Chain A
Amino acid sequence: MADFSDLLVFTKLDELIKFARKNSLWPMPMGISCCAIEMMAFAGPRFDVSRFGSEAFRFSPRQSDLMIVAGTVTYKMSHVVRKIYDQMPDPKWVIAMGACTSSGGMYRSYSVVQGIDQFIPVDVYVAGCPPRPDNLLKGLMEIQKKIARGEKPGQKEKIYIEETFQV
């Protein structure tokens, strides 16, 4: 009789689903200003998000489960961001990328929402103006860890990714 021990892995169905989810996050690129350029670099060949199974940037919310809000969200734009978030299927995750998205950034003014957590639940905040693509990758990895731990989106504690500097 053949020996299958090298070929078979036994696991729980739950773990298998978590493993599949965590390695196939499809981002919805909600690029609104300069952060969007760094987000493109994060998908490009140098930083290469496809190593994490997230190469498929879907420009349709209906096929995405991770929204990366990259840029300044004004009050006028907030309704669009919320609409796209609503159109995404559950379970869905949100990364607030950059200073503007997380806190209004340098725009302390009447037109800019001082943090998107005022109208959508955020899972990971990535600091920087704009953040480096590798920091955004770290944000993505934190989302993957949350999924692996079996957390639900927008519930457990928020993750804050510190800024790094290139020397």
Chain B
Amino acid sequence: MNQRIVEKLQSHFADSIVSVNEFREELTIVIKKNDIVKVCQFLRDDDELKFDSLRDVCGADYYRPEGRFEVVYNLYSLKNKFRMRLKVRVEEENVHVPSVTCVWQSADWAEREAYDMFGIIFDNHPDLRRIYMPEGFEYHPLRKEFPLMGIPGSLPLPRKN
């Protein structure tokens, strides 16, 4: 199955693929950021592959000079009972990624989570608001430079008496 997916993607989107990696039969494909929506659309609509379920979208912070962030898409095909993973690299100075909510509705909250925790902005997302942290919180807690115990005073407590 992995072989088939790679062949199909390479014949349709040869320019969009950055790298293909297979580890213990898990397939991970890194895609160019601006092509993510059309690749996703293809994977969902192709009659043979039918990746009709987006299980998760998450962020990752590698804290390196280039391609600091990654957005990871975990796909599942109900028809083939098969999983695969897509990745997109995001630069620190341009944290915009096209939203895949137009392909899978389930991307909505998952992308909000990645936005809240990593500050990655999903373009064309219908409702990009914080999901865990309070409105108006300035920081993104899962970024590597954010201190584990938080920044004093950034989250107000109620008055004591």
Q: Which of B48-56, B105-113, B140-148 lies at the binding interface?
A: B140-148
Residues of A with C-beta under 8 A to B133? 76, 111
A110-B160 CB under 8 A given contacts A75-B155, A76-B134: no
The A/B interface has a contact count, at CB < 8 Å, of: 42
Query: Which of chain B's residues has its CB closest to A81's CB?
Result: B158
Query: Which of chain A's residues has its CB closest to B147's CB?
Result: A110
Taking chain B's interface residues, is the majority helix, strand, or loop, or is none over half, making it mixed?
A: loop
A109-B159 CB under 8 A given contacts A75-B134, A76-B134: no
The reply to whether A108 and B158 contact each other, CB–CB distance below 8 Å, is: no
Tally of A interface residues using CB under 8 Å: 16
- Which of A75, A110, A118, A121 has the largest number of chain B CB atoms within 10 A? A110
The reply to whether B147 and A118 contact each other, CB–CB distance below 8 Å, is: no
Is A119 part of the contact surface with B, judged by Cβ < 8 Å?
yes
Query: In whole angstroms, how far apart are the Cα atoms of A108 and B147 in the complex?
Result: 11
Residues of A with C-beta under 8 A to B126? none
The reply to whether B157 and A119 contact each other, CB–CB distance below 8 Å, is: yes
A119-B160 CB under 8 A given contacts A109-B150, A110-B150: yes
Per-residue contact bits, chain B 120-160, to A (CB 8 Å; 1 contact, 0 not): 00000000000011100000010000111111000111111
The reply to whether B148 and A109 contact each other, CB–CB distance below 8 Å, is: yes
Is A106 part of the contact surface with B, judged by Cβ < 8 Å?
no
Query: Which of chain A's residues has its CB closest to B150's CB?
Result: A110
Query: In whole angstroms, how far apart are the Cα atoms of A113 and B156 in the complex?
Result: 10
The reply to whether B141 and A111 contact each other, CB–CB distance below 8 Å, is: yes
The reply to whether B160 and A120 contact each other, CB–CB distance below 8 Å, is: yes
A110-B159 CB under 8 A given contacts A75-B134, A76-B134: no
What are 5 residue pairs bridging A and B, where the CB atoms are less than 8 Å apart in the complex? A108-B148, A110-B147, A110-B149, A118-B160, A119-B157
